[in-house]
Amino acid sequence: MKDKARVAPALVAGNRKSLASHEATHFLWQVKDAVATVTLNRPERKNPLTFESYAELRDLFIQLKYADDVHAVVISGAGDNFCSGGDVHEIIGPLVRLKAPELLMFTRMTGDLVKAMRACPQPVIAAIDGVCAGAGAIVAMASDLRLGTARSKTAFLFNRVGLAGCDMGACAILPRIIGQGRASELLYTGRSLGGEEGERWGFFNRLCAPEVLLADAQKMARELAQGPTFANGITKTMLHQEWAMTIDQAIEAEAQAQALCMLTEDFTRAYEAFVAKQKPVFQGN
């Protein structure tokens, strides 16, 4: 029994990872108050992605699953734009010279970024100003929450470069955010979705003034980070997994998930704080 008692803490300790001191190479990374901020940092080109930044983002979101010092994530772009998509010269140009096996490796790698974003337990908030196009629109779509500005322009422009709209999960995820008809329009036409229209359609949770966009996103992230983070991770998991469930399956899965959350100390803390007429201080366990 003593050996078994030592296994669980050792297993947890072996999996935990601190990311506060992580040094990113192809974007900016900062952790403060349990909120990580990813800043795509090529403002002179409207923050396009490269092969390297795709891969680094994918690997970082995989690591977030084990991070014990990050409870919410904000993604933003430097300057007045979010992300213009894949770099024309560093990605699009090389792609036209590749064979099918190499192209499939690339498209799987970009899809793995979306899968990693959906699989990490932290809520991800995209702070979207200006251009948000192509892969940038996908990163915004894959986030849990989106704050925009009136001047933001979101475009799933794949068909404008001769490709299908089914990129990185767009045909599965986008209709669930804004509806099948509206998603079809954006994916067939590649047109830009303006900020105010995006808010009406439900793509943006709300619009902010450009000068306070990042601060508002980080404030929201801090509020989430101060909540019951284990339970928030369960909520994110269920929101994702229940897409493929029947109603009966979802109800049973939620019963099991909620019973698990009732075993946490945060659940007890909330009850005790209520009895004492105090605000609970959650600790994520």
In a domain, 57, yes or no: yes
Instruction: Compute the mean pLDDT over every residue in the chain, rounded to the nearest whole number.
Output: 93
Same domain, 136 and 28: yes
In a domain, 93, yes or no: yes
pLDDT of 13 over the 70 cut: no
In a domain, 258, yes or no: yes
Q: Determine the Cα–Cα distance for residues 125 and 140; give it in Å rounded to an integer.
A: 8
Same domain, 177 and 142: yes
- Return the pLDDT at 92: 83
Report residue 17: phi and psi, to 5°. Answer: -145, 130
Give the percent of the chain with pLDDT over 90: 87
- Return the pLDDT at 178: 98
- Return the pLDDT at 87: 84
In a domain, 163, yes or no: yes
pLDDT of 22 over the 80 cut: yes
Q: Please report the sign of the dihedral spanned by the C-alpha atoms of residue 245, residue 140, residue 38, residue 266.
A: negative
In a domain, 284, yes or no: no
Same domain, 119 and 156: yes
Q: Determine the Cα–Cα distance for residues 280 and 214; give it in Å rounded to an integer.
A: 27
- Return the pLDDT at 44: 96
Q: Determine the Cα–Cα distance for residues 198 and 59; give it in Å rounded to an integer.
A: 30
* Cβ neighbours of 208 (radius 10 Å): 21
Same domain, 136 and 267: no
- Domain end call among 185, 205, 225: 225
Calculated CA dihedral for residues 238, 241, 246, 247, nearest 10 degrees: 10
Give tens-digit pLDDT for 69-123.
999 999 999 999 999 998 888 888 888 898 999 999 999 999 999 999 999 999 9
What is the Cα Rg of the chain in Å? 20
Same domain, 139 and 32: yes
Range of the domain at 152: 2-225
The reported pTM is 0.92
What is the band of 219 on the pLDDT scale with cuts at 50, 70, 90? very high
Size (the chain), residues: 285
Same domain, 218 and 259: no
Can you give the CATH number for the domain in which 88 is found? 3.90.226.10
Average pLDDT estimate for 161-182: 95
Q: Please report the sign of the dihedral spanned by the C-alpha atoms of residue 181, residue 85, residue 129, residue 58.
A: positive
Same domain, 210 and 267: no
Same domain, 133 and 236: no
Same domain, 69 and 128: yes
In a domain, 68, yes or no: yes
Give tens-digit pLDDT for 246-281.
999 999 999 999 999 999 999 999 999 999 999 999
Same domain, 246 and 138: no
In a domain, 240, yes or no: yes
Same domain, 127 and 256: no
Same domain, 265 and 214: no
- 3-state DSSP of 37-64: EEEECCHHHCCCECHHHHHHHHHHHHHH
- How many distinct structural domains can be found in the chain? 2
In a domain, 282, yes or no: no
